């Protein structure tokens, strides 16, 4: 007898507690043995996810509650990884929308809810973090209802069930006045409000590929939901590719999910989520089907990218010294391999064989790709991010973003002034009772390029910034990008304390004494608007005379730490970020590249 099934996705804005709630569900479902050490955010298995505290890739797990098998899919919360959300919503029959009890709905809440409603899903709303001070659980529920109505939800969807929860404390409850004991109310809500899969086991086999994985023993593994039919290990099947080609193969291994493990199974029927080995060339969105009666499912459609940058083979004087993969062929192969799993990414060749145009959802989306590649040993350069323009009804248009700033009250004036200069329009302003204010803007995407660092300075590091794609609108005209000139190394060598100290009055530095530099490398920001070449390798001429305590108390100003995201936001149109496994450097375009 087949177990009853529920397939559910967890969706929310970034940092509203999705992964922590999934942790609580996993712990209380009994998948871990007694005494087993279980890390926090167990679903965030990627090194970058753990370092940054965000979910980047969608992942699925399965738990048993009573006689029911519940497949749970944890999705990213950041707008830049919306493609991950879009491709997995087709696997599920319901979703849990998590909202912070303090912040309420945020930009990404709007995005993921809109996608869920378009799929016809009826979300269960969970108001999380109710144990935080200044939480307003009922106010958050009202705001969510307003958002449902605003997004055009039907009457049935607006009658959504809701729960109150604390993921970190491991409880959920139906009423705020109830005692929080465990996650049982959430399990019950999933059983009551998420419909079972509607697939028919009697129809021909149909599995849509939504996730790709790789095993050294099995090769490429495809993960997807069985929409119709039955699949058995060892059977013959066919893959309907994107262009309609039929590729026949054998199911060499069939795997199911049990907790965080994959277990080998003999067969599975409609409604189950399975992992299949045997299709070496399968790509996301394609259909595994019956070879005698092939029936393809509609391809997965995701929103188009809004930001692009050019990836260039490294041609700096230090090229090839720190990376393992440095050639144009290796760079191209890696980018093409990324296209197989990253559905929101686009890679296009240019008129030069060592330059590739890469488009994504935002700076973080592209930044994660760059960081992943540098950790794998790749060495390359990238240009300043540029927005992608489109023609809508014969009129040139550009992408606009919904921007929400949470700032101290004293920073409101400065933020509004700078956003205004970047062509942003204030939509809403709420003054909270704790000395903070929430500002909501609609702003051109190009107005946000380089703004995050400026925002941190305006709010002295106390501001929180969130944004997500809104829509395409007519061009708004020129945006003044205010930034001082840069300090450029005059010659190749090693930066010295003596030279940096003498040049401190010229600006702020990005490097420390002992850093290797080359001619054209950007080493700091000038105090004035124009660029300035500096000799920072000059050493102090020694004499036989000794000054008592002459250099003992002399210190340099703390340099600015140029992280990858900060560097991408900082560079100008005539500058590059040089990426290697060991270093991130800023440089001016070489004459050869500047001519292209």
pLDDT recorded at residue 548: 47
324, part of any domain: no
Name the phi and psi angles at 41, rounded to 5.
50, 55
123 shares its domain with 220: no
Find the mean pLDDT for residues 574-583: 92
Q: Are 40 and 174 members of one domain?
A: yes
CA-nearest of 107, 105, 188 to 401 is: 107
For 215, the domain range is 206-289
Is 515 annotated to bind a ligand? Reply is no
Q: Nearest Cα to 413, choosing from 429, 400, 427?
A: 429
pLDDT for res 14: 74
Q: How confident is the model at residue 303 (pLDDT cuts 50, 70, 90)?
A: confident
Query: Which of 2-6, 142-146, 438-442, 544-548 has the least mean pLDDT?
Result: 544-548
- Residue 110 belongs to a domain with what CATH number? 3.40.50.300
CA–CA gap between residue 179 and residue 175 (Å, rounded): 9
16 marked as part of a ligand binding site: yes
Question: Domain boundary at 289, 315, 332, which?
Answer: 289
Question: What pLDDT score was predicted for residue 546?
Answer: 55
Which value, in Å, is the radius of gyration of the alpha carbons in the chain?
A: 27
Of 311-320, 348-357, 461-470, which gets the smallest average pLDDT?
A: 461-470
Long-range contacts of 386-393 (CB under 8 A, 24+ apart): 386/307, 386/308, 386/309, 386/446, 387/306, 387/307, 387/308, 387/444, 387/445, 387/446, 387/449, 388/304, 388/305, 388/306, 388/307, 388/308, 388/359, 389/475, 390/472, 392/472
Residue 47 shares a structural domain with residue 155: yes
pLDDT in tens, 469-488: 788 899 887 887 656 889 99
32 pLDDT above the threshold of 60: no
Tell me the C-alpha distance between 448 and 398, whole Å.
13
Half-sphere exposure of 8 (CA within 13 A, CB side): 31
Q: How far is CA 366 from the centre of its chain?
A: 9
Using alpha carbons only, what angle is made at residue 457 by residues 454 and 460, rounded to the nearest 5 degrees? Answer: 150
- Total domains in the chain come to 4
Task: For residues 171 and 279, state if they share a domain.
Answer: no
Average pLDDT over residues 428-448: 84
Residue 229's CATH number: 2.40.30.10
Beta strands in 297-424 (DSSP E): 307-313, 346-349, 355-360, 380-383, 386-387, 390-392, 395-408
Distance CA 318, CA 580 (A): 10
**Do 132 and 34 lie in a common domain?**
yes
Q: Which range in 16-20, 285-289, 478-482 is most confidently predicted, on average pLDDT?
A: 285-289
Q: Is the pLDDT assigned to residue 363 strictly greater than 90?
A: no
Question: Is 466 within any annotated ligand binding site?
Answer: no
What lies within 8 Å, CB to CB, of 366 at 6+ separation is: 307, 309, 358, 360, 382, 385, 568
17 is in an annotated binding site: yes
Same domain, 509 and 445: no
User: Mean pLDDT score of the chain, rounded to an integer?
Assistant: 83
- pLDDT per residue as tens digits for the range 476-528: 878 876 568 899 998 899 999 888 888 888 889 999 899 999 999 999 999 88
- 547: in domain: no
Q: Are residues 42 and 175 in the same domain?
A: yes
To the question of whether residue 129 is assigned a binding role by annotation, the answer is yes
d(CA 27, CA 544): 71
SS3 state of residue 468 = strand
Of the chain, the percentage scoring pLDDT greater than 70 comes to 90
Residue pLDDT, tens place only, 546-569: 554 455 556 778 888 888 888 888
Give CA torsion, residues 453, 454, 459, 463, to 10 deg. -50
Average pLDDT of 371-388? 92
Same domain, 119 and 253: no
Does some domain include residue 526? yes
Same domain, 189 and 210: no
Each residue's pLDDT tens digit, 180-211:
888 888 889 999 999 888 888 888 899 988 88
Residue 30 pLDDT level (bands cut at 50, 70, 90): low
Domain of 419, CATH number, reads: 3.30.70.240
Do residue 132 and residue 281 come from a single domain? no
User: Has residue 33 got a pLDDT over 70?
Assistant: no
Average pLDDT over residues 569-577: 88
The answer to the question of residue 143 being in a domain is yes
Higher pLDDT, 51 or 263: 263
Q: Is 393 left (phi over 0), alpha (psi -120 to 50) or beta?
A: left
Q: Is 383 a known ligand-binding residue?
A: no
User: Given 289, 323, 341, which residue is the final one in a domain?
Assistant: 289
Backbone CA torsion sign across 225, 229, 230, 231: negative
Q: 220 or 416: whose pLDDT is higher? A: 416
pLDDT given for residue 51 in this prediction = 57
List, in order, residues 6 or more apart from 479 with CB less than 8 Å away. 421, 422, 423, 444, 446, 447
Confidence band of 312 (pLDDT split at 50, 70, 90): very high
Residues 57 and 99 in one domain: yes
Q: Has residue 422 got a pLDDT over 80?
A: yes
The yes-or-no verdict on residue 593 having pLDDT over 70 is: no
Q: How far is residue 195's CA from residue 61's CA, in Å, rounded to a whole number?
A: 18
Instruction: List Cα–Cα distances, 566 to 25, 27, 384, 585, in angstroms.
Output: 36, 38, 12, 12
User: Does 310 show up as a binding residue in the annotation?
Assistant: no
Q: How many CB atoms lie within 10 A of CB 394?
A: 5
467 and 495 inside one domain:
no
Q: Minimal CA–CA distance to 209: which of 225, 229, 231?
A: 225
Query: How do residues 132-190 score in pLDDT, each as one tens digit?
Result: 877 888 888 998 999 889 888 888 888 889 999 888 888 888 888 888 888 888 889 99
Q: Indicate the pTM of the whole model.
A: 0.77
Establish if 52 belongs to a structural domain: yes
Query: In angstroms, what CA-CA distances link 278 with 62, 207, 494?
Result: 23, 14, 54
% of the chain at pLDDT higher than 90: 18
Is residue 207 within 8 A of residue 249, CB to CB? The reply is: no
CA separation for the pair 503, 516 (Å, rounded):
17
Confirm or deny that 128 is annotated as ligand binding: yes
Distance CA 354, CA 373 (A): 17
162, 124 in Cβ contact below 8 A?
yes
- Confidence class for position 57, pLDDT limits 50, 70, 90: low
pLDDT above 90: residue 314: yes
Between residues 58 and 430, the one the model is more confident about: 430
pLDDT, tens only, 76-135: 766 666 667 777 888 888 889 999 888 888 777 887 888 888 888 889 999 998 888 778
Q: Is residue 106 part of a domain?
A: yes
The predicted structure's pLDDT at residue 48: 59
Domain end position, chosen among 239, 255, 289: 289
């Amino acid at each position: 007898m087949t177990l009853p099934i529920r397939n559910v996705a967890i969706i929310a804005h970034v940092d509203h507690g999705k992964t922590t709630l999934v942790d609580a569900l996993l712990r209380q479902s009994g998948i871990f043995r007694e005494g087993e050490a279980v890390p926090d955010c167990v679903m965030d298995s990627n090194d970058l996810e753990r370092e940054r505290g965000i979910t980047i890739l969608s992942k699925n797990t399965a738990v048993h509650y009573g006689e029911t098998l519940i497949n749970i899919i944890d999705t990213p919360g950041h707008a830049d990884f919306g493609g991950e959300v879009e491709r997995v919503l087709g696997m599920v029959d319901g979703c849990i929308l998590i909202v912070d009890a303090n912040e309420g709905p945020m930009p990404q809440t709007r995005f993921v809810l809109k996608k869920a409603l378009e799929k016809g899903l009826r979300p269960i709303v969970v108001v999380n973090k109710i144990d935080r001070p200044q939480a307003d659980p009922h106010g958050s529920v009202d705001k969510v209802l307003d958002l449902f109505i605003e997004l055009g939800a039907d009457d049935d969807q607006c009658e959504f069930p809701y729960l109150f929860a604390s993921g970190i404390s491991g409880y959920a409850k139906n009423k705020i006045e109830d005692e929080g004991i465990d996650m049982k109310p959430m399990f019950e809500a999933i059983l009551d409000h998420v419909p079972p899969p509607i697939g028919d086991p009697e129809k021909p086999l149909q599995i849509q590929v939504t996730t790709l994985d790789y095993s050294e023993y099995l090769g490429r593994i495809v993960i997807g939901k069985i929409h119709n039919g039955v699949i058995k290990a060892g059977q013959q099947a066919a893959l309907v590719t994107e262009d309609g080609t039929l590729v026949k193969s054998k199911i060499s291994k069939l795997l199911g999910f049990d907790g965080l493990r994959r277990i080998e199974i003999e067969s599975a029927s409609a409604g189950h989520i399975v992992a299949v080995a045997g299709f070496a060339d399968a790509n996301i969105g394609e259909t595994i089907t019956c070879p005698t009666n092939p029936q393809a499912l509609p391809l997965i459609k995701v929103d188009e990218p809004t930001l692009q940058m050019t990836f260039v083979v490294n041609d700096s004087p230090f090229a090839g010294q720190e990376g393992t993969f440095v050639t144009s062929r290796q760079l191209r192969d890696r980018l093409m391999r990324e296209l197989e799993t990253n559905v929101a990414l686009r890679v296009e060749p240019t008129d030069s064989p060592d330059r590739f145009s890469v488009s994504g959802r935002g700076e973080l989306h592209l930044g994660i790709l760059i960081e992943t590649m540098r950790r794998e040993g790749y060495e390359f350069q990238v240009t300043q991010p540029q927005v992608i323009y489109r023609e809508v009804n014969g009129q040139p248009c550009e992408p606009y973003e919904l921007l929400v700033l949470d700032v101290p009250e004293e920073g409101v004036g400065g933020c509004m002034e700078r956003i205004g200069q970047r062509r942003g329009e204030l939509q809403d302003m709420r003054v909270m009772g704790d000395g903070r204010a929430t500002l909501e803007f609609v702003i051109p995407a190009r107005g946000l390029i380089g703004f995050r660092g400026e925002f941190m300075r305006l709010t002295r590091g106390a501001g929180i910034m969130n944004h997500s794609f809104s829509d395409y609108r007519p061009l708004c005209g020129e945006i003044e990008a205010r930034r001082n000139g840069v300090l450029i190394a005059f010659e190749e060598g090693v930066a010295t304390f003596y030279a940096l100290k003498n040049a401190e009055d010229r600006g702020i530095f990005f490097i420390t004494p002992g850093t290797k530099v080359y001619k054209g490398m950007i080493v700091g920001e000038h105090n004035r608007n124009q660029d300035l070449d500096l000799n920072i390798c000059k050493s102090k001429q020694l004499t036989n005379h000794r000054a008592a305590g002459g250099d003992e108390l002399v210190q340099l100003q703390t340099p600015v730490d140029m992280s990858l995201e900060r560097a991408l936001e900082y560079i100008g149109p005539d500058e590059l970020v040089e990426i290697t496994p060991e270093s991130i450097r800023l440089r001016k375009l070489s004459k050869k590249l500047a001519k292209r």
